[in-house]
Structure 1
Amino acid sequence: MSKKSVLITGCSNDGIGYGLAGHFQRRGFRVFATARRLSKMSNLEGLADVTFLALDICDQTRIKAAVQKVIQETGGELDYLVNNAGISHFMPLLDEDIPTAKHIFETNVWGQLAVTQAFAPLLIKARGAVVFITSIAGHVNVPYMGTYAASKRSLEIMAETLRLELAPFQVRVLSIVTGGVQTLGQSHFDEFALPEGSMYKPIEDTIAKRARGEDGKQRSGLLGHAEQVVTAIVAGTAGKFWCGQGAGATKFASTHLPTSWMDAGVSKGTGLDHLSKEHGNRYGGREE
Structure 2
Amino acid sequence: MSTKTVLITGTSSGIGLATAVAAARSGWRVIATMRDTAKAGALLAAAEEAGVTVDVRALDVTAPASAESCLAGIDHLDALVNNAGAGHVGTLEQESVEDVRAVMEVNFFGVLHVTKAALPLLRASKGRVLTVTSVGGLIGQPFNEAYCAAKFAVEGFMESLAPVAATAGVSISVVEPGAVASEFVSNVGLADNALEQAGPYAPALSAYLDRTRGAFADAQTPQDVAARMVDLLAAEQPAFRLLTSDAARAFAGTKLKDLDGSTVQALTSAWVA
In structure 2, the residue matched to 1:253 is: 254
Q: In structure 2, what residue type is equivalent to 1:52? A: V
Question: Are 1:265 and 2:267 counterparts?
Answer: yes
Kindly tell me: are residues 232 and 68 of structure 1, through their superposed partners in 2, closer, same or farther at Cα, counting changes over 3 Å?
A: same
Q: In structure 1, what residue type is equivalent to 2:141? A: V
Shift of 1:196: 4.5
**Structure 1 length-normalised TM:** 0.84
**Structure 2 length-normalised TM:** 0.88
User: Structure 1 stretches of 5 or more lacking a match?
Assistant: 71-75, 274-288
CA contact (8 A) 1:139 1:250 kept: no
CA contact (8 A) 2:89 2:190 kept: no
Q: Which has the higher mean CA deviation after the structures are superposed, 191-200 or 52-61?
A: 191-200
Shift of 1:51: 0.5
In structure 2, the residue matched to 1:44 is: 43
Cα RMSD for the two superposed structures: 2.1
Larger gyration radius, structure 1 or structure 2:
1
Shift of 1:44: 2.3
CA contact (8 A) 2:86 2:106 kept: yes
Q: Which has the higher mean CA deviation after the structures are superposed, 126-135 or 227-236?
A: 227-236
CA contact (8 A) 2:137 2:154 kept: no
Tell me, in whole angstroms, the C-alpha distance in 2 between the residues paired with 1:208 and 1:268: 12
**Identity percentage of aligned residues:** 30
Instruction: Name the SS of the counterpart of 1:230 in structure 2.
Output: helix
User: Structure 2 stretches of 5 or more lacking a match?
Assistant: none
Kindly tell me: are residues 246 and 2 of structure 1, through their superposed partners in 2, closer, same or farther at Cα, counting changes over 3 Å?
A: same
Question: Are 1:185 and 2:184 counterparts?
Answer: yes
Q: Deviations over 1:132-190 (max 9, x none)?
A: 11111122222111111111010011111111111121010011122121111112246
Q: In structure 2, what residue type is equivalent to 1:246? A: A
Kindly tell me: are residues 166 and 88 of structure 1, through their superposed partners in 2, closer, same or farther at Cα, counting changes over 3 Å?
A: same
1:31-180 alignment, distance < 5 Å: 31-45=30-44, 46=48, 48-70=52-74, 76-180=75-179
Tell me, in whole angstroms, the C-alpha distance in 2 between the residues paired with 1:8 and 1:108: 15
Tell me, in whole angstroms, the C-alpha distance in 2 between the residues paired with 1:204 and 1:248: 26
Q: Which has the higher contact order (CA 8 A, sep 6+)?
A: 2
Tell me, in whole angstroms, the C-alpha distance in 2 between the residues paired with 1:23 and 1:48: 9
Shift of 1:204: 4.5
Tell me, in whole angstroms, the C-alpha distance in 2 between the residues paired with 1:89 and 1:195: 18
In structure 2, the residue matched to 1:223 is: 223
